[in-house]
Chains A and B, each alone.
Chain A
Amino acid sequence: SQQGEEDPQALSIQEGENATMNCSYKTSINNLQWYRQNSGRGLVHLILIRSNEREKHSGRLRVTLDTSKKSSSLLITASRAADTASYFCATGGVYSSASKIIFGSGTRLSIRP
């Protein structure tokens, strides 16, 4: 079962521009996480935001969470070539085990030099 759906599925921007990806989900959550995956590699955790938080920052990353709209956004500022990767949101449910999270289908981000 897929909880989160990312939008857009693919995004291509010029180096230096900002990249925004969105995630929508269906059921109540405890937290939402964003992960990055470089091609052919494992996922790397970027940031976690809890259901009682609205915004969180980490370096060039800014995540927002709107529980009333059941959506989140990931903003990467001043993009670099190394940001080229797929980005996945993952949700932790209210009624599921704390350790079980559900991944969306991802946004493929390409940074043009």
Chain B
Amino acid sequence: DGGITQSPKYLFRKEGQNVTLSCEQNLNHDAMYWYRQDPGQGLRLIYYSQIVNDFQKGDIAEGYSVSREKKESFPLTVTSAQKNPTAFYLCASSLQETQYFGPGTRLLVL
């Protein structure tokens, strides 16, 4: 059963805490992406990676970090420097132009 999985579905962050969102794909795609979506808004690119061990900042990278040690995995860490982290986070992967999305993680601040 091929696809992209994200976990957890809901995540709660305390003040000053770093949290990591998981994204795994078994589609054998080279490129992976992280987007942030605020209520009623479109998607904004946080980070993307076109190949293992390489990644680039998107439009809103401040307060976030990523790693790409394996082709299948692209975890996103929301650091304490991100002052407004409450949002819906979407991971995607692609071979060429078309992107395939995971189900998303909703991050809430306690």
Interface residues of A (CB under 8 A from B): 1-2, 30-31, 33, 40-45, 48, 88, 90, 92, 97-106, 108
Check A43 against B98 for contact (C-beta < 8 Å). no
Check B103 against A101 for contact (C-beta < 8 Å). no
Interface centre among B31, B88, B97, B104 (most CB of A within 10 A): B97
Check A103 against B43 for contact (C-beta < 8 Å). yes
Partner of B97, one of A42, A101, A105: A101
Interface residues of B (CB under 8 A from A): 4, 31, 35, 40-43, 45, 48, 50, 59, 88, 90, 92, 94, 96-104, 106
Interface of B is mostly: strand
Check B42 against A103 for contact (C-beta < 8 Å). yes
Closest to A31 in B: B97
User: Closest approach, in angstroms, between the C-beta of B83 and any C-beta of chain A?
Assistant: 21
Residues of B within 8 A of A30 (CB): 97
User: Closest approach, in angstroms, between the C-beta of A99 and any C-beta of chain B?
Assistant: 4
Check B41 against A105 for contact (C-beta < 8 Å). yes
Partner of B48, one of A31, A44, A99: A99
Residues of B within 8 A of A92 (CB): 97
Check B97 against A98 for contact (C-beta < 8 Å). yes
User: Closest approach, in angstroms, between the C-beta of B49 and any C-beta of chain A?
Assistant: 10
Check B103 against A45 for contact (C-beta < 8 Å). no
Residues of A within 8 A of B99 (CB): 43, 45, 90, 101
Question: In the bound complex, what is the Cα–Cα distance between A101 and B31 (angstroms)?
Answer: 12
Check A33 against B97 for contact (C-beta < 8 Å). yes
Question: In the bound complex, what is the Cα–Cα distance between A16 and B62 (angstroms)?
Answer: 45
Question: Known contacts A42-B90, A43-B101, A100-B48; can you find 14 more A-B pairs with CB under 8 A?
Answer: A33-B97, A33-B98, A40-B106, A41-B103, A42-B102, A42-B104, A45-B98, A97-B50, A99-B31, A99-B50, A100-B45, A103-B42, A105-B41, A108-B40
